[in-house]
Amino acid sequence: MNGQRTLSLGFSPCPNDTFMFYPLVHGLVDTSGISYRERLEDVETLNRLALAGALDVSKVSYHALGHIRDDYALLRAGSALGRGCGPLLVASRSIDPCDLGSQTIAVPGRYTTALLLLRLFNPGLTNFLVMPFNEIMDAVLRGDADAGLIIHESRFTYQGYGLRKLVDLGEWWEGETGLPIPLGGIVARRSLGGATIAAVERALADGVAFARSHPEQAARYIGEHAQEMSREVCAAHIQLYVNDFSVDLGDEGVRAIHCLMERGERAGIIPVSGAPLFCGEQHP
């Protein structure tokens, strides 16, 4: 790579993303001469931007990855993947999960992993009301939806709204597969070329490791983008979604992603693809 190259970089304003990307976008790690033009959007907006091929590098839901594998390669660093961190289905009243087929469910986007998991959990569900993730709990409380599929910081705050948990989809996934749950990952446009993608991956991995070693440095940046979140919720969010899988997916993380892709394909929710997950890898 000759000279400076600028890449568009999309990630969400959620604390786990701003925490991980702070060192990269502020030049605290070696970026191999690449600079980044950041764009912060909610995850479903990022999914749609990636579907349109509008970003060079981006955070996406693993559900969205299933639709863009031909054009984007997954990076081994930067993922939100783990145990005890899955989406929750909540309601203001007790509803038997077997009776959900007749209920309206508010969901945080058609390409979110949360919706993919819900459809795998119960393929008979079809009555979805799509809205931004931060509006779901209020919609359930108003009665606009019978139940809501919540992600991100809502996991820590739903009980304060008087809502009750109906299904923990992460718990269901782990029980079904024995694997951690893949929620979101970082992708890079394949047309960037192997050398550039490898440089981005190295810098991101170094940035995540730096952030975990210097957690206080990103505090102001995180706070600027999480203004409605308490410091305690921010800390809990980062602790839950940033872990060893965020530095490197490892064999177990890769198995979990392949499992999710295969189940989504078999269910007809995501298209079958012959593209490998990673740049330079042969299709398994």
d(CA 90, CA 107): 11
Residue 61 marked ligand-binding: yes
Q: What residues does 164 pair with on adjacent strands?
A: 91
Residue 114 marked ligand-binding: yes
Q: Nearest to residue 222, comparing CAs of 12, 13, 10?
A: 13
152 is catalytic: yes
Residue 246 marked ligand-binding: no
Residue 73 marked ligand-binding: no
Amino acid at site 104 = T
Contact 118, 89 (CB under 8 A): yes
Q: From the centroid of its chain, how far is CA 237?
A: 13
Q: Any alpha helices (H) in the chain, and if so which ranges?
A: 15-25, 43-51, 62-68, 113-121, 136-142, 154-157, 169-177, 194-213, 219-225, 231-241, 244-247, 250-266
> What does the block give as tokens for 5?
């190259």
d(CA 223, CA 226): 5
Contact 120, 264 (CB under 8 A): yes
d(CA 245, CA 77): 7
> What does the block give as tokens for 272?
């079958």
In the set 26, 63, 67, 152, the catalytic residue is 152
3-class state of residue 90 by DSSP: strand
Contact 267, 117 (CB under 8 A): no
d(CA 204, CA 47): 19
Question: Which residue positions form the known binding site for substrate?
Answer: 59-61, 113-114
Which residues are part of the catalytic machinery?
152
